[in-house]
Amino acid sequence: MSRSRFLIPVIFAIVGIAVTILSIYQVTINQTSIDYFPFIEGTLYSDIVFVLSAAIPIITIEYFIIAIPLAVLFLIGNSFIKAAAYETNIMKIGESFSGIRMIRRAAAPAPFSVSTAGILSGFFQDLLIVPPGDPSFLYRLGGTLMASLVIMPIALALFMPTWILNDAGIVNHLRKGQMEVRQCPHTEGVGRWYSGMLGGYSILAFPIAMVSIHFLQPFLATSLLPPLDEIIISLVWIVGIPMLIMAFIVPVILLNEVAGGKAGGLVKGFVRRMGAEVVEKLQISKVATKKSPKDGS
């Protein structure tokens, strides 16, 4: 496959990470260090940059140490739950995976991180000593962004195994005996089954968390009418924060594109020992029907 497909994801990641660091800088540069890392002198911004820098190797190690064992555990759990009606096999799938698809793959774990971070955003906001006269809503946004970056490795630990399973072509499909029952044929990737549940949580939790943090708590609960510019900025950042988190996730997806083949091979070997076989994609074709005499020419 062409290496040019990596260009768009790389640009997306570089721009997003740069904007994230700049945004955190604007909010925290005047904050004193909280001394979570006594060996780092400077502002709270210095501590945060250290955490972001450490996150890259940590997530890389996480991919090689956690992703494959979790993929195997996901596979065992799925087989146990669906054993009565489904077989687990390996399907031959295509090889193409464009740069746009890489970015889209980051779209599920990003809102998952932001939604879960809603629980911790108050803790991160407490680290920020708001200077008099500064807009407090910027600090709420900063707290949400930093909490999301902390939750991101946890979200990736759940999503990375689904990427490996999807790319390896591990699928569930109805057993032959189930095809005689009045139900539609059903084939689904094991990874997609898990990512669908995780994505469902994200879709439901994300708007609830964002509205609660950035509108209900600061504005409605205090009966204060916010200025129009604050409302617009909050709305922009509700969409912007997941985009920035996606920029940090894309490098992990690029790593999966490089190392995922070997990881998928290990998972395929395990599922073969479970009795899986290689299957072909279903072919859907029209059923020929006889024309009635009225339809004749």
Q: What CA–CA distance (Å, rounded) separates 278 from 173?
A: 12
Q: What CA–CA distance (Å, rounded) separates 107 from 245?
A: 9
> Both tokens of residue 58?
């940590």
- Check whether 28 has a pLDDT greater than 70: no
User: Mean per-residue pLDDT for 141-164?
Assistant: 85
Which is more confidently placed, 137 or 78? Answer: 78
DSSP run (H or E) holding 88: strand 86-91
pLDDT confidence of residue 100: 93
Contact status, residue 218 vs residue 140, Cβ threshold 8 Å: yes
pLDDT confidence of residue 52: 74
DSSP run (H or E) holding 259: helix 228-273
- Check whether 36 has a pLDDT greater than 80: no
pLDDT digits (tens, 9 = 90+) for 175-219: 887 777 877 878 888 999 999 999 888 888 888 887 777 666 666
User: Mean per-residue pLDDT for 146-172?
Assistant: 89
How do the domains of the chain map onto residue ranges? 3-279
- Check whether 132 has a pLDDT greater than 50: no
- Check whether 295 has a pLDDT greater than 60: no
Which is more confidently placed, 223 or 149? Answer: 149
- Check whether 173 has a pLDDT greater than 90: no
User: Mean per-residue pLDDT for 107-134?
Assistant: 69
Which is more confidently placed, 126 or 76? Answer: 76
pLDDT confidence of residue 96: 87
Of the listed ranges 31-45, 78-92, 198-212, the least confidently predicted one is 31-45
The confidence band for 253, taking pLDDT boundaries of 50, 70 and 90, is very high
Which range among 66-75, 113-122, 233-242 has the greatest average pLDDT?
66-75
Q: What CA–CA distance (Å, rounded) separates 101 from 38?
A: 42
* Three-state DSSP class for residue 169: coil
